[in-house]
Structures are given as structure tokens and as C-alpha cells.
Amino acid sequence: MMVGIVKETFPREKRVALVPANVPQYQKLGLEILLEKGAGSDAGYPDSAYETKGVKIVRNRADVFSSADVMLFVRGLGANPDAGKSDLELMKKGQVLVGMFEPLSEPDSIKMLAEKGVSVFSMELTPRISRAQSMDTLSSMATIAGYRAVLLAAEALPRMFPMMMTAAGTIAPAHVFVVGAGVAGLQAVASAKRMGAVVHAYDVRPAVKEQVESLGGKFVELELDTGDAETKGGYAKEMGEEFLKKQREMMTRVVAENDVVITTAAIPGKNAPILVTAEMVRGMKPGSVIVDLAAERGGNCELTRAGETVIENDVKILGPANLPSDVPYHASQMYSKNLTNFMSILVKEGELQLDSDDEIIRATMIIRDGKVISREN
């Protein structure tokens, strides 16, 4: 059975779906690897590194599709809505596609894939259960995004993060406020703390207080009813507008007291909630920085523009897009391991076993032999 890897076509996407270190695990499963020339180069993995592992390199993208039984992507159609369409004509009936496809927000793209008669597994839907932790793509990429957000903030802020005792006087530490204590938020807390900042964090889920404090952060408690703020899968729920209004009122003071605000709140398949209003921005100190990790979903800050830096009242609002691609070597390493672990349950004795009784397979399968499948099924 042949597994195909092609160069990503999403603009400025540098990651690759398989790194050389994981090739032997595919071979142990009885699989062969076919790689489009240069697929890993932007991530720091040259063709020669794959060839030494026994991977066959081909120049023509179409040849990879025509030979492969399984295609692995970082961004498949849906997560790559424009350039991804060019791959449709290369797909063949019965082929299995694995990667990120944004099924909750790109239903039209999913229909296009179904019309090709393929089967598709979307890694964004990996269930948050113990057995699937090593396959949790969203958590892997969020870890990188949280780390990068702190670096971007430190670079944009016109002051240093740590407290320093110098002959020229004492330098006070920067104050960082992280909104949303999921994987990205917790990594931001840890990274900012390591850089010497005073870190506060807030989340609608009070259960994460202990996690924030274990990383050296201080948890901000707002007097709000958050009893129904978490899904069974561990994600934050979409809250009503009345709740958000009260939340914004209480957060105004906290935001004004900080030099950096990093927002990470996202609801799968929906626009990000507005947590930082234009009024809050105007209340921040000149030179302050906001890094909005939800920029691609519309942003948690009212003034965010995806892929741009907005300056309002001398406050910089960064709306970075696709942050994991800015660290392509390790992002690819982590993503590749997620896919490798997933493939280990999908393939038995060199053959595909699409066992819908398996909770992980059932949750991630969005198309089977050209038929769109709901998550509940």
C-alpha cells in the first residue's frame, strides 16, 4: 500500500505532513512512501533525508496522487479552500485522505471531496480522550501558536519582559494578560513567565485555574456564572451575548492594567467571540500590545484584522495567521507524529481497516466512499 505526501499549496504554508524520522513506523505498518520533490524543504527536511529512509521521490504531483492509496496533508481542501481545488482532478475514487479540512466551517469543500468518491479523515475532530492524546493535532499546533504569540508580543513591546536590577536602576517587569487558558493560552502563560513577565490569565472555565497557577500565572476570577461553560470534550462553549457583555465590562479594568494582552478564545466551527472592544483598547497604555490568536476566526479583539498589524491609540494589535507555519521544523515534527499515530490505528497488517466502531476513527471520519458522514454517526 502506498502513502503519498505532496508539497503544501496554501499560501506561505511551510509545514509537511511527514518528517523522515517517522518513515520507519510507516514501513513497519507495511506501507511505502511516495514524496513529491521538495515537499519537506521549506520545513527543513531535504529530499536526501527522506531518500536515506527509503522514500521514493517523484517530480510530478499528479504521479503521487495516481499511485497513492492514502494521501496525507497538512491543509487539505477546506483548510486550503482556493489552491486546494486544483487537487480535486488528481484524486481517484476509493482514495483515503488524511489531514486538516475545516469540516465545520467549509461544508461546500467537503461536498466537493465527497463527489470524488474518496474517504476523508479530518484531524481537527480527534476526540479528547486519553487514547487519542498522541493524535491531537489541534493541541500540537496550539502549543506552537501560544509560544510564538509571546515572542511576537515581546518583539513589538517597547519594553523588556523581565525585571532587572541594574546599575542604572531597577527595570519593572512587563505585565501580560492571557485570555483563554486552553492549550495555546497555557503555553503563552508558561512562555511569558519564563521570559520574566508577571502573568495573569482568564478563562470562562474555572476548572483551569489550577493549571494556570501551576505554570506560575495568576488566575483572574470574574464574578460570572460559568457553570455551563465547558463541553464534554473539554472545549469552551459558545456563551450568550448577555454573558459576553458582562464579561467585557469586568475585563475592561484588567486589560487596562496590562502591557500585553494575548487572546486565544475560539469556538470550533464558529466565529471567535469579541472579548476586547475598541473601548478597551483605547483604555490601554500607549505602547501596549495585543496579540489575537483568533484572528483567522474573526478575532477576539474588535479591531483585529487577520494577517495585519493595526495601530489604535498607540496600541499595536497583531492578527497573526497560521503561526505554526512560522516554526515549520518542529510544527511538522509534531504534526507528523500525530498523523503517524493515527495511521497506526487505521492500518493493520498493511491494509486499511476503517473500523467505525473505533471511537477515534468514527469521530474523525467525515466522508466514507463519497458519502458525507455526520459526527454523531
Instruction: List the catalytic residues.
Output: 128, 133, 136, 139, 235
Helix (H) or strand (E) holding 91: none
Q: Distance of CA 316 to CAs 99, 156, 158, 252, 321, Å?
A: 34, 8, 11, 17, 16
Q: Distance of CA 210 to CAs 39, 74, 205, 251, Å?
A: 42, 33, 11, 20
* Contact in structure between 189 and 175 (CB atoms under 8 Å): no
* Contact in structure between 19 and 336 (CB atoms under 8 Å): yes
* Contact in structure between 39 and 7 (CB atoms under 8 Å): yes
Q: Distance of CA 273 to CAs 4, 85, 139, 145, 298, Å?
A: 38, 30, 20, 18, 8
* Contact in structure between 166 and 370 (CB atoms under 8 Å): no
* Contact in structure between 135 and 271 (CB atoms under 8 Å): no
- Write the single-letter amino acid at 106: E
* Contact in structure between 321 and 295 (CB atoms under 8 Å): yes
